[in-house]
Amino acid sequence: MRTNWLLYVGIVFLVFVFHTNHVLAEDLKSTPRLDPIEVQVILERVYLDGEISEEQMEEKIWSMEQFWSKYDQWQVVDMDEKSVVFRKHVDDISPLLKANGYFGITDDGVLTIYYGKPQKYNIIQSFFQLDIGKLESRRHEELKEGIPIKNKDRYVEVLETFKNYTIQEKQAN
């Protein structure tokens, strides 16, 4: 008996949610609106280095067509009656890295990005283990001092250069 009651409540809930969403969707389609819909818009930018920036703003929607066209280069990640989250992949490194990012090496030989000159406590991201024995002393010193990143080309160049010095894992026979 309890199972039937729970099933009935579940069905009523689903019908309510479907009806509410249908009414909301029909309401949002109508253009132009007499009263704007106010939503919080969250813009997430995902950069090549994995950094994600977030910008939040309140937006008044007078026309859904205009709203969607304004964000046509963005992907909808989440949406409800009060907010819309958009995401865009940016083919560049983050402003954080451009401003103060440095490639460096940890004490155990891992290629790493630091916030500022390489120090133990300011690691942003780690990549791969380098074979220090194969690494030229000049390259090793550059990494210990820190290589400023500044732009996407430099980021890619440094990763490609040091990829040649990775420790290859031995395959079991």
Q: State both tokens at 84.
A: 């819309």
More confident residue, 29 or 96: 96
Q: Show the domain range for 39.
A: 31-91
The pLDDT tens digits for 120-146 are 778 888 888 888 888 888 888 889 899
- Global pTM reads 0.65
Share of the chain above pLDDT 90, in %: 40
C-alpha–C-alpha distance, residues 43 and 40, integer Å: 10
Domain holding 82: CATH number? 3.10.20.420
- Whether residue 15 has pLDDT greater than 80: no
Same domain, 105 and 77: no
Same domain, 85 and 107: no
Same domain, 133 and 83: no
- Whether residue 95 has pLDDT greater than 60: yes
- Whether residue 74 has pLDDT greater than 90: yes
Residue 2 lies inside a defined structural domain of this protein: no
The pLDDT tens digits for 16-64 are 444 444 444 555 554 555 788 899 999 999 999 888 999 999 999 999 8
- The count of domains in the chain is 2
Strands 75-79 and 83-89, bridge-based pairing: antiparallel
- Whether residue 92 has pLDDT greater than 50: yes
DSSP of the chain: -HHHHHHHHHHHHHHHHHHHHHHHHHHHH-SS-SSPEEEEEEEEEE-TTS-EEEEEEEEEES-HHHHHHHTTTSEEEEE-SSEEEEEEE-SS--HHHHHHEEEEE-TT-EEEEEESS--TT-EEEEEEEB-TTTS-HHHHHHHHH-EE--SHHHHHHHHHHHHTTBPPPPPP-
More confident residue, 85 or 6: 85
